[in-house]
Amino acid sequence: MAGSGKTTILETLYKITKESKKDIEPVEDLKKIEKASGATLYFDRGLFQSTKQKKIFYRVFTVAGQSSFSPLRSKIFQGADAVILVVDSQSMYLEDNVESLLELKNIAQDKLIKEIPLIVMLNKKDLEDTINEENFKHVLQNEKLWYESNHELSNWNPAIYNTCALYGRDINIYQSFYECARRTISYHASRDGKGGDDNFPLPYIFKPPEPPGDLGLAAQTQLKSYAPINEEDLEDEVYCQYCGRKFTKEEFYSHNCRKSPK
């Protein structure tokens, strides 16, 4: 949802992996398109590389959470290997978080957990009056995104992390991404017949591509099985967060929306 801390999380991940030796490291500057207030206007993008398997790269996108950006979120999802749902854990925003989860379910079309690993960050746990892991587990159960222990997919239930995005006070930021990356590789390895976790949720709904000769290419191969993301298209279109009208970036800055709050 909007304002949940997605950009701050990505900024902190950059700092952590740049300043400390980790299993992933940033390989270019974080790309942000934001408003003067610092809120995401369009999307953020980061590129990370595995330090152990140099052929594996992770492209991480965050997308503005306002309802008018739903078409963009849907477009970026086409090609996603994994999803991290960032939740504003303040109790007063629970319904807004559920709306975001419902949108994600609709976009994913029954692929979450079965084909695409899902991680949940309960962010802003440095604040008071926040929901806990059990609270959000109930939400996931209600939306059939949590399986009982006797179910074949139970080992792949979403990992839920309590997080604080503020660098220097950060909690579980790197751990959340590490688990997301670990599950992504395990899903690919099992799908391509190269081992991985024996509890990998099979079968796939779609026919997977031919397995690559090197496991390090698995992540890139998976992207080709989806409609590719045309980043030029992403950068040439923006949407008004109030009326939902689509513009080029040049048109957007001259738009004076009548629906915007005074």
What are the pLDDT digits (tens) for 150-207? 998 999 999 999 999 999 999 999 999 999 998 988 888 776 655 555 444 433 333 3
Encoding tokens for residue 245? 């009208």
Encoding tokens for residue 96? 């807004």
User: Picking from 61-65, 109-113, 172-176, 228-232, which range would have the lowest pLDDT averaged per residue?
Assistant: 228-232
Cut 0.75: pTM above it: no
> CB 160: neighbour CB atoms within 10 A?
22
Given a contact cutoff of 8 angstroms between Cβ atoms, the answer to whether 122 and 161 are in contact is yes
Given a contact cutoff of 8 angstroms between Cβ atoms, the answer to whether 85 and 100 are in contact is yes
Given a contact cutoff of 8 angstroms between Cβ atoms, the answer to whether 58 and 181 are in contact is yes
CATH architecture of the domain with range 6-229? 3-Layer(aba) Sandwich (3.40)
User: How would residue 222 be classed by pLDDT, with cut points 50, 70 and 90?
Assistant: very low
Given a contact cutoff of 8 angstroms between Cβ atoms, the answer to whether 234 and 45 are in contact is no
126 vs 11, 96, 119, CA distance in Å?
18, 19, 20
What are the pLDDT digits (tens) for 13-54? 999 999 988 999 998 888 766 554 445 445 678 889 999 888
Q: Where are the domains of the chain?
A: 6-229
Report the candidate in 3, 7, 25, 63 with the shortest Cα–Cα distance to residue 178: 25
Residue 214 clears pLDDT 50, i.e. is over it:
no
